[in-house]
Structure 1
Amino acid sequence: MGGEIMRISYRHIKRYKEIAQVMVKYGFSFIIERINKEGSGSKIDVSSSEPKDDIKNMTSGQRLRLALQELGPTYIKMGQILSTRRDLLDQDMIDELVKLRDDVETFDTDVAMAIIEEETGRNIEEIFSEFDKEPIAAASIGQVYNAVLKDGEKVVIKVQRPDIEETIKSDLEILKRVSGSIQDIIKDYNIDMKEMLEELSSQLLRELDYNFEAVNAVKMKRIFQNSDEVYIPEIHMEYTTKRVLIMERIEGIKLSDIDLIREKGWDTKKIAHIGVKAFLRQVFDFGFFHADQHPGNIFVLSESQIAYIDFGMIGMVDNRTLNFLNKFALAASEKNVDKIVRVLTEIDAIGEETDIEGFKGEMLYMIHYYYDIPLERISIGTVLNEIFRFFRKYKITMPPQLITLAKTIITLEGTARTLDPEFSAREISRAFIKNYYKSKINPKNIVMETRGNIEDILLDLKNLPKQIKNVLRIVEKNNVKISVEEVKMTRIEDCIKELTTQMTMALVLASIIVGSSLIIASPNIERNMGIKYMAIAGFFISFIIGLILVIEIVKVKIKKR
C-alpha cells in the first residue's frame, strides 16, 4: 500500500494536495491521516488544520456534500451515484447528496466553438445558421448551447469541457490508489470501495463519450416510435462525436414547472398516468428504461404527450430480475419470510455476515405493519427505503439492476405525486402485476423460456462427464479413499435407471412441447392444415408422456414408503 501512495504523490502531487486540503477543510482530516500513516512519499500536514466553527456545526452529510461539490466533477458524480444507493447509506445522508448539482462556472464559448469545429471537421457557419453564444446550462462534464441548423431545425448542443477527461482519469487513479485506506475507515458500512469505484469509473467514462448517450436516445426513440403519448428528440448522428452531441430542441414546459402546466389548464393526473405507463412499458416490454426521471428531464408538450431528454443514465433489467421481483412480492404477500430468504439466496444477496434470524424477525414485522394498510395510503418510496434499511443493517447485497430500478421507481413516484397529490401505489402495483402476467402468458415468451430451460439442462448434461472426471482426478490426486462396503450397489443401479428414464422422458416431453408451440406460433400455419394437425398431435403425445411420467414418479414414491 505504501508504494502505491508514494506513486500518487509524485504523479499527481498537485491534485492530491488539493483533494487533501478540501477534505481537511470540511473535517475529514482523519482520512488523510490514515493515508499518511499507511503510505510513504509526500505527506499532507493536517496537525494544525481545524475546520471553521460554521463547518463544525454542520451534519456529516452536509460536510460531505460541500466537500464533493468543491472537489469537482469526479466527486460530484460519485456523490450523485451514492445518492441512488439507498442500500448503502442512511436517509439523512441521501437527502444531502441528492442536492449535489452540476452547476459550475461556464467556460469560454470560443473554446466550445473550437471543440465543435475540431470534432466535426466543419466550420460553425457550415453547420448552423444561428448559434447562441450564451450557454443555457453549464454542467461538470459539458456545456449546453442553443442553435439552428442550416435546414432551420432548432437544436441543442452539448460540448464537453476542455481537459475534463484528463482531470477525471487522474481523480479516478488517485481514488483507486487510496481505496484500501478508505475501505478500512468505512468498514462498518456495507460499502465495497472497489465495486463502487468500478461503477463510478464505468459511468464517468461513458459520460465522457457522448456517443453512448446518443445510442441510448436512438434506442429510446425506437421504443416509442409509434407512440402518441411519448416523444423522443432526434439525435443528429452525423454531427455527434465523443465530445459533441447535437439533439433536436424540445419546446415544451418542464415537468418541474407545475404552476405553468396548471395555468395551461392541462390535466396533471393524466400526465402522471402517461409517465407511469411509459416507464412500465420500458421495463416490461424492453428491459431498457430512462433511469433519471426527475422533473427536470421530462417536458410536457400537451396534456396527452410528454418528452424525455438527457439519456446519459439508462437502466436495464432482464427476465431473471423481474422473476426475482415477482417471487419476492408473492412471498411477502404470503407473509413467508423463509421464502423471502430463499429467494434472496438464489441471487446470492445473502452473505456470511448476515444475521438471518434477526433479518427474518424484522422483515416479518414490516410485512405485518404494511399488510393491512390500504394501498392508497402507502408510499412505494417509503416501503423501498425501509427495505433498503433492513438490507443495509443485515449486509444483504442487491444486484445493481435492482438498485437502479428501485431508485427510478422512487423518483417516478415523487414526480407523479407532484402532478397528482392523490397518486397512490395502487396504480404502479396494478400495472406491475398486469404487465408481468401479460408477459408471462405470452406464447412467444413461454416458448423462449422453455427453450432456454432445455438448453440449460442439455448444457448441464453435456458438462456432467467432465465434472465427474474432475472430481475423480481430485480424489486420485489427494489419495482419498472411499469405502463402499456397506452400500447396496443394486439399489444404486435402480436409482440411476429410474433417474435416467425420468430425465429422458422429461427431455422428450419438453422437446415435443417446444416443437409443437413453435409450429402453432408460426404465422403460416393456416396455409398447411397437415402441419397444424401434426402440432395438435404433438400436444396430445406430450400429454400422454407427461401422464406416464407422473405415474412413474408416483410409483417410485409409493415404493419408497
Structure 2
Amino acid sequence: MKVFLSYNVLPNIAKQEHPEKVREAFEELGPTFIKIGQMLSVRSDILTPRFIGELKKLQDNVKTDTFATVKQTIEEETHLKLTDIFETFEELPFASASMGQAHKATLKNGKEVAVKVQHPGIKEEINLDLSLFAKVLPLIKHIPESNVVDPKEIFLEIKTSLQNELNSLKEAENGVAFYKKNNGWEIIQTPIIYRDYCTEKVLVMEFMQGESIRKFVQKEVVSKESEERKQLKNHLGNVLVRNFVKQVFEDGFFHADPHPGNILVRFLEPNEEGYHAKNKVKDIQHKKEMKQGSIGFNYTEEQDLPPYRLVYLDFGMMGYLDETMIHKLTNVMDSLYGNNVKNIGRAILQLCNQIGPVDEEHFFEELAPLLDENYGASVGDLNLQTLFFRIIAICHQNNLQAPQEVTMLIKAIATFEGVIRELAPEISLIEIATPFAKKYFTEKIDWQWELKKAGIDLLYSAKAAPKIPSRVLDVLDDLSKGKSKINLELKKQNELMDRVERMMNRLVMGLILSALIIGSSMLVEFNAGLTSNFVSVLGMIGYAIALFAILFLAVDIWKKGRRKK
C-alpha cells in the first residue's frame, strides 16, 4: 500500500497518466507485480498504447539460484538423483526469469535438453502477493473502464495465468498438445516434452538451437545479400501468420504469448536431419476425359522445404476457443474481408456480451470511419494495438464486453504484431486469415441441414405469396376507415424521459422555492405581540433554506454546463 500510494498507482491507472510511475512501482514490488505488468503490457483492451509501451519496458531483475539449490529442487521433485537422470548438466543457467531459470543438460540416451527449474519459495511469494492484491481490488472500481471491463475478471485471469506458469505439469501438457498440432507444419518446429521427468517445479524439454527472431531481424547483413534476406523474412512472416491463423480457426488452441523471445529462427546444417525434407503441399484431384469415358485420380504435390525452421517455445500461456466462438470469429473475418460495416457490426455484436442497452445504429456509425480508415492496410501501415484499443473503446461506450477468450486472442495478436512488423510489414493479416476462415466455414457447416432449412423457408414463402394481394387490400381498407395505428419508436426514449423528469423536478422545485420565499416574507412582516419574534425567526429560517436550495441548483446547473462544454 505504501508503494502504491507513493507512486500514485491507482489514480494513474484510472486516468491513464504517468505510466512510468506505474512501471517503477511494479519493479519495486518485485517478481509478482513485474509479471502482472508484463501481462498488462499487451492488454490493448484495458490500457492506452502509451501505457502499454511503458509497461513493455519491465524487465525481470532476479538473482540466479546456485547449482546446489537447483540440484536439490530437481532431486526433491523427481525423487531421483541428478546423475540418474542426466549424463551431463551445465551448472550455469543459460536463461533466468522471475519464475525460474533454465539449464542445458544431456539425458542418458544422449538427447540434449533444456531443464526449467522453478525458484525456491516463488510459489508462496506469488500466492501471498496475489492474496494482498485481491484486498486492494475494490479500489480499482475507480478506473473509468471498470463499468464494462470487470476488474475481478481481469484479476482472476492474471491469477490463473500466474498459477499455470507455476505448474510446470500444465505447461508440459500444453507443450505436448501444441507439438501434436504444429510440429512439422511446413517449417514450424516445437520441442519434444519429456513428461517422465516433469513435475510441478521442473520441466524437461528438447533443447532447440537457434536465435530469437528479434536478434535475427536486427543482425547486420552484407548489401548484396539484402534481396535474398528480404525474401527470407517475407517467407518467415508469411508462414508465421498462416500458422497462427491455423491455430485459431482450425485448432482452437493458440500460443497466447508469441513475443520475439518465444520464437526462434534455426538454420539447418547440410548433414542435419530434415535438411532435405519435403513438405506435402496439397492433394490434387485430376480428371481425364477419354473416348471410353473419363478416369479420375488423386495425387499429392510436394516441394522441398528450405534449410531453416521456425521454433516455438514456452507454452505456459495458451488460448482455447470452442466451436461456437470459432464460428463467431469466422463471421467477423468474413465480414471484414467484405468491408461491409453493417455485417462487421452485427458480427461483433454476436461476439460480445451485452451488459446494457445497445443502440445498434449508433454503434455502426462509430465503427464505420475506423474500419474505412484501416481496411486492406498491411501490418506496416497499421498499429494493431491502437486499432484494437479504439474498437474496444467503441464497444465499451456501447455497453459491449468482449469474452475472456477473445480478450486473450486480442492480446496474442497485439504481441504477434510486433514480430510480423519487423519481419514483413507489407503482409495483410486479413487477406491471409480470410481463406482460413472460409475454409473453416465450408468444412464445419452442415450443408444438409442448411439446405433443409432453406427449403422450409422457401415453402413457407410460396404458401404466403398468394395471400399478399388480399393482405394489401385489408391494409388499404383499414387506412380508408381510419382504423390503422402507427407505432413509433423513439431512439433513446428512456434517456429522453429521464431528461423530461429532471426538467419537471426543477420546475416543481422552483414553484416550492417561490412559495417558500413568499411565505417567509409574510412571516417576517408578521407583528402580533409576543409571538412576532418567533414567527420572524421562522421566516428567516425559510429564507436560509431557500437561499441554500437556490445556490445548490445554480452550482448544479453550472457543473452540467461545464461538462457539456
Report the TM-score when normalising by structure 2. Answer: 0.67
Tell me the equivalent position of 1:424.
Answer: 427
Maintained 8 Å contact 2:42/2:414: no
Kindly indicate whether the alpha-carbon contact (under 8 Å) linking 1:128 and 1:147 is maintained by their aligned counterparts in 2: yes
- The answer (yes or no) to whether the contact 1:213–1:311 under 8 Å persists in 2 is yes
Which residue in 2 is equivalent to 1:163?
Answer: 121
Q: Provide the residue aligned with 1:287 in structure 2.
A: 252
Question: Which whole-Å CA distance do the structure 2 matches of 1:277 and 1:185 have between them?
Answer: 37
Q: Which residue does the alignment assign to 2:4?
A: 23
Matched, 1:411 2:415: yes
* 340-349 or 228-237, which deviates more: 340-349
Shift in alpha-carbon separation, 1:252–1:357, aligned structure 2, 3 A = same
- The residue type paired with residue 116 of structure 1 is I
In 2, are the aligned partners of 1:378 and 1:424 still within 8 Å (CA)?
A: no
CA distance in 2, matches of 1:73, 1:437: 43
Q: Distance in 2 between matches of 1:314 and 1:413?
A: 17
> Aligned partner of 2:382: which letter?
S
SS at match of 1:256: helix
Separation (CA, whole Å) in 2 of partners of 1:178 and 1:556: 66
Partner of 1:346: 350
Q: Deviations over 1:332-379 (max 9, x none)?
A: 6777655555444434434327676654433222233335x7658742
Give 1:318's aligned residue: 322
1:272 correspondence with 2:263 = no
Work out the CA distance in 1 between the residues paired with 2:43 and 2:248. 20
Structure 1 residue 423 displacement after superposition:
2.3
Structure 1 residue 177 corresponds to structure 2 residue 135: yes
Residue of structure 2 in register with 1:367 after alignment: 371
Partner of 2:45: 87
CA distance in 1, matches of 2:383, 2:196: 42
Cα distance in 1 for residues equivalent to 2:344 and 2:186 = 40
Q: Is the 8 A contact 1:218 1:234 kept in 2?
A: yes
SS at match of 1:146: strand
8 Å CA contact 2:330–2:441 kept in 1: the answer is no
Match of 1:296 in 2: 261
2-side partners of 1:185 and 1:305: how far apart? 44
Alignment partner of 1:551 out of 455, 459, 462: 462
Structure 1: distance between partners of 2:442 and 2:358? 36
Question: Is residue 290 of structure 2 the alignment partner of residue 379 of structure 1?
Answer: no
Distance in 1 (alpha carbons) for counterparts of 2:109 and 2:441: 47
8 Å contact kept, 1:103–1:138 = no
Contact 1:297 1:308 in 2 (8 A): yes
Could you tell me how far 1:177 is from its partner in structure 2?
Answer: 2.4
Q: Which residues of 2 match residues 136-215 of structure 1 at below 5 A?
A: 136-184=94-142, 190-215=148-173
Q: Residue by residue, what CA displacement relative to the aligned partner does 1:50-99 show, whole Å, maximum 9, x if unpaired? A: xxxxxxxx962111111112212322222222222211111111111122
Question: Cα distance 1:553–1:238, how it changes in 2: closer, same or farther (>3 A)?
Answer: farther
Query: Is 1:436 the equivalent of 2:437?
Result: yes
The 3 A distance-change label for structure 1 pair 150 and 384 is: same
Tell me the distance in 1 between the aligned counterparts of 2:154 and 2:327: 26
Change over 3 Å in CA distance of 1:358–1:88 after alignment to 2:
farther
Are the aligned partners of 2:379 and 2:421 in contact in 1 as well (CA < 8 Å)?
no
Whether contact under 8 Å (1:141, 1:208) holds in the other structure is: yes
Structure 2 letter corresponding to 1:23: F
Superposed displacement of residue 391, structure 1:
3.4
Q: Distance in 1 between matches of 2:335 and 2:251?
A: 26
Whether contact under 8 Å (1:270, 1:304) holds in the other structure is: no
CA drift at 1:29: 8.7
Structure 1 match to 2:270: none
1:180-209 superposed Cα distances (whole Å, 9 cap, x missing partner): 233246666754221111111211111111
* 1:389 to partner: Cα distance: 3.8
Alignment partner of 1:207: what SS? helix
User: CA offset at residue 179 of structure 1?
Assistant: 1.6
Residues 23 and 54 in structure 2, CA contact (< 8 A), matched pair in contact too: yes
- Counterparts of 1:216-255 in structure 2 under 5 Å? 216-255=174-213
Aligned with residue 390 of structure 1, among 372, 391, 394: 394
Structure with max Cα Rg: 2
Amino acid corresponding to residue 430 of structure 2 in structure 1: S
Q: How far 1:138 sits from its partner (Å)? A: 1.9
* 1:130 corresponds to: 88
Q: How does 1:448-467 map to 2 (within 5 A)?
A: none
Using the TM superposition, give the Cα deviation of residue 307 of structure 1 relative to its aligned residue in structure 2, in angstroms. Answer: 0.8
- Structure 2 CA distance for partners of 1:559 and 1:216, relative to 1, 3 Å: farther
TM-aligned CA deviation for residue 106 of structure 1:
1.6
Distance 2:254 2:91 in 1: 33
Do the aligned partners of residues 284 and 559 (structure 1) sit closer, same or farther apart at CA in structure 2, a change above 3 Å counting?
farther
* C-alpha distance 97-393 of structure 1, shift in aligned 2 (>3 A): farther
Structure 1 unpaired stretches of 5+: 1-19, 32-57, 454-505, 511-541
TM-score, normalised to structure 1, is 0.67
**Which residue does 1:446 correspond to in 2?**
445
| 8 A Cα contact 1:179 1:193, kept in partner | yes
Q: 1:280 to 1:262 in 2, by over 3 A?
A: farther
Q: Secondary structure at the match of 2:244?
A: helix
Distance 1:329 1:557 in 2: 38
Contact 2:115 2:202 in 1 (8 A): yes
* CA pair 348-63 structure 1, distance change in 2 beyond 3 A: same
Alpha-carbon distance, 1:404 to partner: 2.1
Q: Which has the higher contact order (CA 8 A, sep 6+)?
A: 2
CA offset at residue 262 of structure 1? 5.1
Equivalents in 2 of 1:187, 1:430: separation in Å?
A: 32
CA distance 1:27–1:346, change in 2 (3 Å): closer
Q: In the alignment, which residue of structure 1 is the partner of 2:78?
A: 120
Q: Which residue type is aligned with residue 437 of structure 1?
A: K
- Residue 99 of structure 1 aligns with which residue? 57
Cα 1:277–1:248 change in 2 (3 A) is: same
Conservation of the 8 A alpha-carbon contact between 1:272 and 1:416: yes
**Given the superposition, is the C-alpha separation of residues 556 and 446 from structure 1 closer, same or farther in structure 2, using an over 3 Å criterion?**
farther
User: For residue 497 of structure 1, what is the aligned residue in structure 2?
Assistant: none
Q: Give the paired residue count.
A: 422
Q: CA 1:330/1:249 → structure 2, altered by over 3 Å: closer, same or farther?
A: closer
Q: In 2, are the aligned partners of 1:209 and 1:242 still within 8 Å (CA)?
A: yes
CA distance in 2, matches of 1:111, 1:558: 88
